[in-house]
């Protein structure tokens, strides 16, 4: 270990007031005076020498220099650093550290104590239940206002508002006791407030009572106060002017107001026709079927004639082209094969077929699918003023979407007797049945076997749709004493619903019987009994509603009304059970 690495000052440097490294004084003796011998190193002036230090190896010396407080080497390195530059931590800083540590422990303990106190308090107290505010159910019709007037067939919008503590799942509009509309959704306008919009139309004028029923999720019913609306007749449309005329002589009907148009039939003297228009020169009259007749063939009031509107003539028919003349060889040629330029040629006329004056005119007017698409019913009309009796052929065929596809036609021949403007229906069996929308082409007299006044209107295309397959319900009711029994029969597809209601109504009184669920198979029936017979009203009307739709109704006499005369007048003996309704009472002795 070098001199400069040794802690403290060098041994040979005197230090005033320090201790020297000389030998200890003898026991009991006085200390020797300071030696001035230059050979004695490490002496200190006026200080006895220190005890002999023990030998310290370099590693230990370095570590002691850094960690031993006596060597005063804390925090410093380098030559003589331990002696001159080392410092010791002050007592104030140590006390502050202890103080903050103790304070942190005390505060942490207080927080833990408070946490356990809060947890224990929450476990002992019961949970706080929310306060339930009672809501008084209420329903009112916002629009229309009481006494509002509307016309027949005008749509009425009914807005209803309901206050309820439960969700509203269905609204039902009743007009004079009969359901006209239902909605199964509602709009929340405020807390516990629901609104809905319903619609209705009125087929006849009168005063009607409107009531809206609201049903909650639990099945409770909330009813509005009834209001009345007044329905007035619709303003009458101005009819098209028309008048009648009397045919005074045999005359022909034309498709236009001149002899250039095709003949479409004849009129006989004494016939009464309806005239709807005239030409501007008043020489021709148009009939309600669109055909034309000469004015001089009918007797018409001049004032009525003046009130008819002027009608433009339809486009005239296309003229039949005349073939070029055919040259005729007269035989006066000179043998050179050339014809005589002075020879005359006579044109050859092309004969044209002319329909008889009493010819009919057939037009297909309708086509509809029946029996779930297994039957196609075609209606044809004789638009001529002439009657027809004889055989007629009608052809039907599907019009394919692909123009290259060829359809197989079906023909049906029938012996028909048709008066002017009469119709006839022909049923075609379709196998397999039609299950989707198709286009069919109907042709009357496809081979032109019947001479008609017009051969250009015998073919018409129709779009047909299969009928809806569903239940076919009917009602029957009978009164037995004070009990009304209603039988619901189903002749169609099976029925299954959760919304079926019977509405029993008499003037001034209406009751509703809900049937939920209702299931009726094909060909089956269900009897609903235990319905009380109303005490008023001459006749009881029973109406069946399925999913809000009127499926049928029936009526039975009310036996509780004693002032109704029986169907067969008989003396009233006071006997009879009342179960036999209008039947004649038993006048015998009952044996």
CATH number at residue 262: 2.30.30.40
Confidence bin at 58 (pLDDT 50/70/90): low
- Sorting pLDDT into bands at 50, 70 and 90, what band is 103? confident
Residues 563-579 pLDDT 10s: 544 444 444 444 443 44
Same domain, 259 and 290: yes
253 and 218 co-located in one domain: no
Half-sphere exposure of 241 (CA within 13 A, CB side): 11
Residue 208 domain-assigned (yes or no): yes
Query: For residue 302, what are the contacts with CB-CB under 8 A and spacing of at least 6?
Result: none
Q: Is the pLDDT of residue 342 over 50?
A: no
Domain of 451: which CATH number? 2.60.40.10
pLDDT for the residue numbered 444: 93
| DSSP notation for 382-401 | E-SSS-EEEEEEEEEEE--S
The average confidence (pLDDT) of the chain is 75
Q: Check residue 255 and give its pLDDT.
A: 86
The length of the chain in residues reads: 591
Per the domain annotation, does 8 fall within a domain? no
Same domain, 426 and 459: yes
Mean pLDDT of 176-203: 88
d(CA 480, CA 482): 6
pTM for this structure?
Answer: 0.29
Higher pLDDT, 513 or 31: 513
Contact 527, 503 (CB under 8 A): no
Kindly compute the dihedral angle of the four CA atoms of residues 84, 90, 94, 95, in this order, to the nearest 10 degrees. 170
What is residue 7's predicted lDDT score, i.e. its pLDDT? 54
pLDDT at 496: 87
d(CA 539, CA 553): 13
Residues 412 and 478 in one domain: no
Q: Report which listed range, 78-92, 191-205, 262-276, is most confident.
A: 191-205
Lowest mean pLDDT among 45-59, 245-259, 317-331: 317-331
* The domain boundary residue, chosen from 434, 464, 494: 464
Per the domain annotation, does 60 fall within a domain?
A: no
pLDDT of residue 172: 92
pLDDT for 333 beyond 60: no
pLDDT band at 80 (very low <50, low <70, confident <90, very high): very low
Q: What is the structure's pLDDT at 567? A: 46
Burial 512-524 (b: 16+ CB within 10 A, else e): bbebeebebeeee
pLDDT-derived band at 130, boundaries 50, 70, 90: low
Span 60-69, average pLDDT = 54
Does the residue 533 lie in any domain? yes
The answer to whether residues 414 and 491 belong to one domain is: no
Q: What is the predicted pLDDT for the residue at 331?
A: 45
Average pLDDT over residues 331-359: 48
In a domain, 510, yes or no: yes
Containing structural domain, residue 250: 245-306
Run of H or E including 412: strand 410-418
Of 152-156, 351-355, 399-403, 427-431, the one with minimum mean pLDDT is 351-355
Residues 149 and 219 in one domain: yes
Number of domains in the chain: 4
- Residue 578 is assigned to a structural domain of this protein: no
- 467 backbone dihedrals φ, ψ, rounded to 5°: -70, 155
Residue 424 · residue 380 · CB < 8 Å: yes
Q: Are residues 147 and 227 in the same domain?
A: yes
Position 277 in a domain: yes
């Amino acid at each position: 270990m070098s001199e400069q690495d040794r802690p403290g000052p060098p041994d040979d440097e005197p230090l005033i007031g320090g201790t020297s490294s000389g030998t200890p004084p003898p026991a009991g003796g006085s200390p020797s005076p300071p030696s001035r011998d230059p050979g004695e190193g490490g002496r200190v002036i006026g200080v006895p020498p220190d005890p002999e230090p023990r030998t310290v190896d370099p590693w230990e010396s370095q570590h002691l220099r850094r960690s031993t407080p006596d060597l005063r080497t804390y925090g410093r390195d380098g030559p003589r650093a331990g002696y001159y530059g080392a410092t010791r931590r002050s007592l104030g800083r140590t006390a502050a550290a202890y103080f903050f540590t103790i304070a942190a422990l005390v505060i942490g303990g207080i927080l833990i104590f408070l946490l356990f106190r809060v947890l224990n308090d929450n476990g002992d107290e019961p949970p706080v239940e929310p306060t339930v505010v009672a809501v008084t159910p209420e329903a009112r019709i916002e629009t229309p206002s009481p006494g509002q007037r509307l016309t027949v067939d005008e749509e009425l919008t009914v807005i209803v508002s309901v206050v309820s503590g439960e969700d509203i799942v269905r609204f039902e509009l009743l007009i004079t006791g009969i359901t006209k509309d239902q909605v199964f959704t509602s709009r929340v306008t405020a807390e516990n407030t629901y609104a809905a919009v319903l619609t209705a139309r009125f087929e006849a004028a009168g005063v009607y009572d409107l009531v809206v029923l609201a049903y909650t999720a639990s099945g409770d019913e909330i009813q509005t106060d009834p209001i009345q609306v007044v329905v007035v007749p619709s303003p009458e449309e101005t009819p098209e002017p028309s008048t009648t005329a009397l045919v005074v002589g045999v005359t022909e009907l034309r498709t236009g107001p001149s002899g250039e148009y095709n003949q479409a039939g004849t009129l006989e003297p004494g016939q009464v026709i309806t005239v709807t228009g005239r030409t501007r020169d008043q020489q021709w009259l148009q009939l309600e079927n669109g055909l034309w007749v000469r004015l001089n063939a009918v007797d018409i009031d001049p004032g009525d004639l003046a009130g008819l509107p002027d009608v433009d003539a339809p486009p005239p028919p296309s003229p039949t082209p005349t073939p070029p003349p055919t040259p005729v060889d007269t035989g006066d040629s000179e043998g050179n094969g050339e014809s005589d330029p002075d020879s005359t040629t006579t044109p050859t006329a092309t004969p044209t077929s002319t329909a008889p004056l009493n010819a009919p005119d057939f037009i297909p007017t309708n086509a509809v699918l029946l029996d779930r698409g297994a039957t196609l019913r075609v209606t044809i009309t004789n638009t001529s003023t002439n009657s027809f009796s004889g055989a007629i052929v009608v052809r039907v065929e599907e019009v394919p979407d692909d123009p290259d596809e060829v359809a197989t036609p079906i023909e049906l021949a029938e012996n028909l007797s048709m008066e002017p403007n009469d119709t006839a229906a022909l049923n075609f069996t379709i196998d397999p049945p039609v299950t989707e929308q198709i286009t069919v082409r109907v042709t009357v007299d496809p081979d032109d076997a019947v001479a008609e006044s017009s051969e250009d209107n015998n073919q018409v295309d129709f779009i047909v749709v299969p009928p809806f397959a569903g239940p076919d319900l009917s009602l029957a009711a009978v009164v037995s004493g004070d009990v009304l029994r209603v039988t619901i029969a189903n002749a169609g597809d099976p029925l299954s619903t959760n919304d079926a209601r019977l509405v029993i109504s008499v003037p001034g009184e209406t009751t509703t019987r809900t049937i939920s669920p209702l299931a009726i198979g094909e060909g089956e029936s269900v009897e609903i009994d235990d319905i009380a017979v109303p005490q008023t009203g001459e006749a009881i009307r029973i109406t069946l509603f399925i999913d809000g739709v009127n499926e049928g109704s029936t009526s039975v006499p009310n036996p509780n009304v004693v002032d109704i005369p029986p169907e067969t007048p008989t003396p009233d003996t006071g006997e009879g059970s009342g179960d036999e309704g209008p039947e004649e009472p038993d006048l015998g002795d009952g044996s």
